[in-house]
């Protein structure tokens, strides 16, 4: 029995000398264990915070996607309205151009019939009314 106490005393003295020499290792291990135990209880709170943040982000994305869809629908409606108005304007322009051409034809016929004996006067009248260039000829 005495041998056991003697061996234990020798072992404890050597252990104590080792701990005094390398105390930083034991403090580091103890610090790591304390931090691990402390934060192990905090993981549920951290997970909850992350879940709330993820839900908030998902809601923001839904709002952005909804507003984007609404903007696209408005743009498409405006584009369709634009094409409809352009088609009406082109049709009106074409109709007015044809009416104008008919009016011009009738006016030219009348001028030609009124001035068929005086070509010089006819060319001056056509030049004044329709912007046709009139060049005086040599007579």
In a domain, 4, yes or no: no
pLDDT at position 133, please?
64
In a domain, 116, yes or no: yes
pLDDT at position 138, please?
52
In a domain, 138, yes or no: no
In a domain, 125, yes or no: yes
Instruction: Give Cα 73 distance to the centre of its chain.
Output: 14
Q: What is the largest CA-CA distance in the chain?
A: 157
Asked whether residue 18 carries a pLDDT value surpassing 70, the answer given is yes
pLDDT at position 131, please?
65
Cα four-point dihedral sign 119, 124, 128, 133:
positive
Binning pLDDT at 50, 70 and 90, where does residue 139 land?
Answer: very low
In a domain, 115, yes or no: yes
Asked whether residue 100 carries a pLDDT value surpassing 80, the answer given is no
- C-alpha distances in angstroms, 63 versus 70, 74, 76, 89? 11, 16, 20, 39
Instruction: Give Cα 79 distance to the centre of its chain.
Output: 18
How many residues can be counted in the chain? 139
Domain tally, the chain: 1
Three-state DSSP state, 131: coil
Q: What percent of the chain has pLDDT over 90?
A: 32
For residues 11 and 109, give the distance between their C-alpha atoms in angstroms, rounded to a whole number: 134
CB 108 within 8 A of CB 126: yes
Q: What mean pLDDT value characterizes the chain?
A: 83
Higher pLDDT, 77 or 56: 56
Instruction: Give Cα 107 distance to the centre of its chain.
Output: 57
In a domain, 7, yes or no: no
Q: Write out the residue range of the structural domain in which residue 67 sits.
A: 23-130
Binning pLDDT at 50, 70 and 90, where does residue 1 land?
Answer: low
In a domain, 3, yes or no: no
Min mean pLDDT across 28-32, 58-62, 97-101, 113-117 is at: 97-101
In a domain, 11, yes or no: no
């Amino acid at each position: 029995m005495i041998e056991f106490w003697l061996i234990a005393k020798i072992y404890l003295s050597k252990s104590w000398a080792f701990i005094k020499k390398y105390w930083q290792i034991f403090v580091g291990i103890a610090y790591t264990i304390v931090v691990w135990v402390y934060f192990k209880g905090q993981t549920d709170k951290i997970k909850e915070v992350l879940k709330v943040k993820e839900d908030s982000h998902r809601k923001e994305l839904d709002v952005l996607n909804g507003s984007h869809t609404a903007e696209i629908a408005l743009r498409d409606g405006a584009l369709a309205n634009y094409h409809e108005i352009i088609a009406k304007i082109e049709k009106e322009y074409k109709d007015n151009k044809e009416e104008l051409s008919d009016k011009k034809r009738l006016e030219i016929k009348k001028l030609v019939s009124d001035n068929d004996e005086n070509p010089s006067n006819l060319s001056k009248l056509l030049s004044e009314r329709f912007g046709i260039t009139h060049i005086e000829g040599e007579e």
